[in-house]
Amino acid sequence: MRGVSRRGLLGLGLGAAAAMGIAGCGSSDTSGPGSPGPVRNPKNPKNPKPGEKPAARPIGDGSTADTGPQPNQPDAPVPLQPGETPPQFVVFSWDGAGEIGNGLFPRFLKLAKDHGAAMTFFLSGVYLLPESKRHLYRPPNNPVGASDIGYLKDENVRSTLTHVRQAWLDGHEIGTHFNGHFCAGSGSVGRWTPEDWQSEIEQAVSFVTNWRTNTGFTDLEPLPFDYAKELKGARTPCLLGRDALLPTAQRLGWRYDSSSPGGLQVWPVRRSGIWDLPLQSLPFPGHSFEVLSMDYNILANQSKNTTQGVPANYPGWRTQATATYLGGFRRAYETNRAPLFIGNHFEQWNGGIYMDAVEEALKGMADKRDVRLVSFRQFTDWLEVQDPKVLARLQGLGPAQSPAGGWSAYLTAA
């Protein structure tokens, strides 16, 4: 991971930095056609009453259960009306989604709830597999039990299960970050075939749906969803191997992928039938180049090859990271309204400044008119009900390009 480019380095999964030798929505305006919004509608029949538990139908060994439609979802999206200004969508996503004892998973669940936000958690399957059972993992082109992000301690597997369960009940999406996070060498995911990805996905689903058998835990409630149906999108390790993944994703009926490196702030298109929702290049304050919209990529341009840089630099770096996210937001919000995609890890790199930055950025976006803090799946729901002609007009706008004549004239012409 050397040679920082104008778009920064590719994203690492939780723990991947250590493996490399590195330490390491809500809107005040929730009305309006075409704006699903993440603010939960108490009249939505999908949303249970406070304190009410959905009925559960155990699946398999009881690790998961079918509890019906996911609660705390926005109303069904509707098409934009002629000339209507599109919402400003923002998706905060998390690679790995393991609770390693630093309290970051519950911290951001609370932040999301406080601001009516939905997020996407790309769960690494091996984070629900005890290290004592690592022999059950047979990664493509790698030794049995290998994992470049290691395995969690049993107590952290328990915490991860608890928080993943709560995340889904709060209305967040559970995607996948696959398993072993292999980014280099002959076993890199960048060399995998569609068949390799099929095996990796099947194993990731198996670890999520058989955690009770694999862990022996009997005192935890099941995950309240059918993961085979829930899983509709992913982000690959280090943003590698996407081309070989897409045929498999299409066969599985996945709806989107967020693995493209260095995307621009434009409205997305489908590739091989799958919505391409990439991390994006954002203006990087103080530099002439742009940086990828992920915590690790900002770090790589600040402290280079270490996650424990000079503490005296932390305040300035935190301010710069916050300004990067907010600058990308403003560029889209004030011009083409392209969705903003931000990737994160539950990490404490450089004193935890990137966690503080993403929290401050979310707070700075949440109260703006027309802003929708949603999951990737919720955003995909919105895309798929829009008039193709309207989408084509939106897709025709470049980064920072405002609609000619204003939104009313520009989209009425569609």
CA dihedral sign of residues 301, 303, 307, 312: negative
Q: Which residues lie below 8 Å from residue 43, measured CB to CB, with a gap of 6+?
A: none
Beta strands in 182-328 (DSSP E): 256-257, 270-271, 274-276, 281-283, 290-292
3-state helix, strand, coil in the chain (%, to 5): 35, 10, 50
Give the 3-state secondary structure of residue 340: strand
Average pLDDT over residues 245-252: 98
Give the 3-state secondary structure of residue 89: strand
Residue 200: pLDDT over 80: yes
CA distance 280 to 239: 12
CA dihedral sign of residues 385, 387, 392, 397: negative
Pick the most confident of 3-7, 52-56, 398-402: 398-402
What is the rounded average pLDDT for all residues in the chain?
A: 90
CA distance 262 to 264: 7
Average pLDDT over residues 240-245: 97
Residue 113: pLDDT over 50: yes
- The tens digit of pLDDT for each residue in 339-387 reads 999 999 999 999 999 999 999 999 999 999 999 999 999 999 999 999 9
* Cα within 13 Å of Cα(29), Cβ side: 11
CA dihedral sign of residues 81, 327, 235, 58: negative
Average pLDDT over residues 327-338: 98
- The tens digit of pLDDT for each residue in 25-52 reads 332 233 333 333 444 444 454 555 555 5
Token pair 């009249």 in the structure block, residue: 43
* Domains of the chain listed by start with CATH number: 57-68+81-412 (3.20.20.370)
Beta pairing partners, 62: none
Tell me if 343 sits within 8 A of 235, measured CB to CB: yes
Q: How far is CA 164 from CA 33, 207, 384, in A?
A: 32, 14, 27
Q: Which of 387, 351, 381 is nearest to 76 (CA)?
A: 381
pTM of the model: 0.89
Q: What are the phi and psi torsion angles at 39 (to 5°)?
A: -60, 125
- The tens digit of pLDDT for each residue in 89-112 reads 999 999 999 999 999 999 999 999
**DSSP character string of 24-88:** ----S---STT---SS--TT-TTSPPTTPPPP-EEETTTTEEE-SSPSS-PPPP-PPPTTPPPPE
Tell me if 164 sits within 8 A of 121, measured CB to CB: yes
